[in-house]
Amino acid sequence: MILFVLAGICLISVPLAGGRLRLLAELKIRGLWLAPAALGVQVVITVIAPVGNEALHAAVHIATYAMIGLFLAANRRLPGIWLISIGALMNAIAIVLNGGVMPEAATAARIAGITLGAGFHNSAYLAHPLVIWLGDIIPVPGPVPNVMSIGDCAVFAGMLVLLLQRSCATRMFSPSSARARSAGPARRLLRPGPRAGGAILPAIRDEKVDQDQDHDHDQARPAPPPLRLVPPPPGR
């Protein structure tokens, strides 16, 4: 449930940052069905049908991360995907090394107020976990209690980068806006000056006209006669 809540927060951040959600429709996403299908399978094995062969559930859980990996590889050129891929890889390593289950820190689960029932859980306390630092060690108490991993944080950070860069492309992330910010001083030199004769003339153009007039005035002056050396009279 916390995944959907955080995904909703990412979407809400778009208008708050001055972005436009309609720009997200222009995203060219490949293999779009892979990610929702993987999440749907995880919901089936953890919520709808958690009871059954635990080894089969664990294998299916690992397979969902393979589907997510294919989705990320197909969309690797999108902004933020590299960060999402790092987070997903960290989660996958922890899950594979622990037999298909994400290891959960007991302290984090106690702080968050999580109690697990019977059946398969994609995140659970293990007696001897491996790479627990990649597991669910961050408690999230509140109305939707949960625990998160470092990989989860990287995934949602990548989602923010993707959403904001696409929805705010003309405002804060685009190369053209970056060039405009870097060329700020030069643009200020070309700002319009005061009105003269009903038209707005750039201040720098006025200065150039004055320089040209001074140069023309200097050229219009008659040149001074050349100096002549008169020799002294002889005998002196």
Spatial separation of the C-alpha atoms in residues 214 and 208, rounded to whole Å: 10
When pLDDT is cut at 50, 70 and 90, the band that residue 230 belongs to is: low
Average pLDDT score, the chain: 78
Confidence (pLDDT) at 196: 46
pTM over 0.85: no
Q: Is residue 130's pLDDT more than 70?
A: yes
Confidence (pLDDT) at 99: 95
Q: Six-digit token pair at 3?
A: 């995944």
Query: Using CA atoms in the order 121, 122, 127, 130, what is the torsion angle rounded to 10 degrees?
Result: 170
Confidence (pLDDT) at 115: 84
Specify whether the CB–CB gap between 45 and 119 falls below 8 A: no
Q: Six-digit token pair at 45?
A: 């094995």
Confidence (pLDDT) at 200: 46
How far is C-alpha 176 from the chain's CA centre?
A: 17
Spatial separation of the C-alpha atoms in residues 68 and 47, rounded to whole Å: 20
Distances in Å between the alpha carbon of 91 and those of 37, 62, 162, 189, 209?
A: 18, 10, 20, 52, 67
Specify whether the CB–CB gap between 170 and 177 falls below 8 A: yes
Listed residue (164, 146, 205) closest to 6, CA to CA: 146
Choose between 76 and 215: higher pLDDT. 76
Choose between 213 and 193: higher pLDDT. 213
Distances in Å between the alpha carbon of 26 and those of 67, 85, 111, 157, 167?
A: 24, 22, 41, 21, 10
Confidence (pLDDT) at 40: 92
Q: Six-digit token pair at 141?
A: 């108490």
Q: Is residue 209's pLDDT more than 90?
A: no
Specify whether the CB–CB gap between 71 and 34 falls below 8 A: yes
| Per-residue model confidence as pLDDT tens digits over 4-31 | 677 777 777 777 777 776 777 777 889 9
Confidence (pLDDT) at 174: 46
Pairing relationship of beta strands 146-148 and 138-140 according to DSSP bridges: antiparallel
| Per-residue model confidence as pLDDT tens digits over 39-95 | 899 999 998 999 988 999 999 999 999 999 999 999 999 999 999 999 999 999 999
What is the mean predicted confidence (pLDDT) over 185-198?
A: 49
Choose between 156 and 174: higher pLDDT. 156
**Domain coordinates in residue numbering, the chain:** 2-174
Q: Is residue 221's pLDDT more than 90?
A: no
Q: Measure CA of the first residue to CA of the last residue in the chain; give whole Å.
A: 117
With b for 16 or more beta-carbon neighbours within 10 A and e for fewer, the 189-218 pattern comes to eeeeeeeeeeeeeeeeeeeeeeeeeeeeee
